[in-house]
Amino acid sequence: MSSSAPIGVFDSGVGGLSVLRAIRAALPHEDLVYVADSAHVPYGSKSQHYIQQRSLTLTMFLTSSAIGLNAKAVVVACNTATAAAAALLRSRFGVPIVAMEPAVKPAVAATKVGVVGVLATVGTLQSAQFAALLGRFGAGVEVVTQPCPGLAEQVEAGDLWGPTTRALVEQYTKPLLTRGADTIVLGCTHYPFLRPLIQDIVGPDVALIDTGAAVAQQLRQVLAAKDLITTAETPGHELFWTTGDVHVARDVFAKLWAPEAEVQQLPDEFAGLHELKHVESS
Ligand code: DGL
């Protein structure tokens, strides 16, 4: 494996760009390749099997020598896909797989009143991994969990402040505030893009915690331990793919990443459009 190879990153859609930002800040010289699986978003309401198939396919795309990307490591920039598929990816691929989990541990350490809220997808909150996370770190505090159907889709649409997004955030944060939470975990990588809106709604005294920066540090450590940090001294590049509509994606990437972000269509054999038709017709 070559240290000059890129780092592969994927998410159900554009949410993982919040993690990519942290990776770019921590590793300025690395080339980064990102896949937004936006044709299949949301993962949060899909079966574990479905998410596993998509995660295998996207990791194959990112690491394939036939395609030429040959990623030296893959970051699962999605809490839902981590819960459903990280273990499977680790068992199938030789490259390091770095994955996410909701920031329950730092939130439990940060709360002053002993009440922590967690905003995440249905898939994450129902997973065995999340139950295990609560078992390990949740003792001694009240952890109030709130699934947020529809919220990732608002970010996919680039709607970070509109009335529908605001109404969803109000609805989903209310039970946490009612219980008195002073610390809220943004347990889905789409939600950091809503941080200003969420903060506006919950008020300045509630801390919002996400794991983008921690995952970027972990990635750096994993690469360093395997001698895989690039020796390049020039700024790294980003390449973006989507399985969704490329024109819509360009607008949203321009808003969430940078106006000049170049987004390409993922080749059909990796886009899983058959799986999609199957789900839509079932
Ligand atoms: N970005 C994904 C996560 O971190 C969730 C969005 C979705 O439901 O697809 O969990």
One digit per residue, the tens of pLDDT, for the chain of length 282 reads: 799 999 999 999 999 999 999 999 999 999 999 999 999 999 999 999 999 999 999 999 999 988 879 999 999 999 999 999 999 999 999 999 999 999 999 999 999 999 999 999 999 999 999 999 999 999 999 999 999 999 999 999 999 999 999 999 999 999 999 999 999 999 999 999 999 999 999 999 999 999 999 999 999 999 999 999 999 999 999 999 999 999 999 999 999 999 999 999 999 999 987 766 666 555
Instruction: Please state, in angstroms and rounded to a whole number, the distance separating the CA atoms of residues 268 and 254.
Output: 24
Q: Give the DSSP H/E element, type plus range, for residue 97.
A: strand 97-99
Q: Which residues share a beta bridge with 242?
A: 36, 265
39 lines ligand 1 (CB under 6 A): no
pTM: 0.96
**pLDDT for 143-175, tens place per residue?**
999 999 999 999 999 999 999 999 999 999 999
Q: Which amino acid is at 36?
A: A
Q: Is the CB–ligand 1 distance for residue 152 below 6 Å?
A: yes
104-210 fold: Rossmann fold (3.40.50)
Distance of alpha carbon 241 from alpha carbon 227, whole angstroms: 27
Task: Examine the residue annotation and report whether 148 is marked as an active-site residue of this protein.
Answer: no
Residue 183 phi/psi, 5-degree rounding, is -140, 130
78 given a catalytic annotation: yes
Residue matched to tokens 């797989």: 97
CATH architecture of the domain covering 7-100+213-281: 3-Layer(aba) Sandwich (3.40)
Question: So where are the chain's domains?
Answer: 7-100+213-281, 104-210
pLDDT score for 279:
60
The pLDDT score that the predictor gives to residue 68 is 79
Torsion angles phi and psi, residue 227, rounded to 5? 60, 40
Please give the number of the atom of ligand 1 that sits closest to the Cα of 188.
Answer: 4
Q: How many angstroms from the chain centroid is the CA of residue 140?
A: 28
Q: How far is residue 75's CA from residue 32's CA, in Å, rounded to a whole number?
A: 10
Are both 7-100+213-281 and 104-210 of the same fold?
yes
Residues in the chain: 282
Contact indicator for 238, 29 with CB cutoff of 8 Å: no
Is residue 266 within 8 A of residue 256, CB to CB? The reply is no
Distance 149 CA to ligand 1 centre (A): 10
pLDDT score at 66: 82
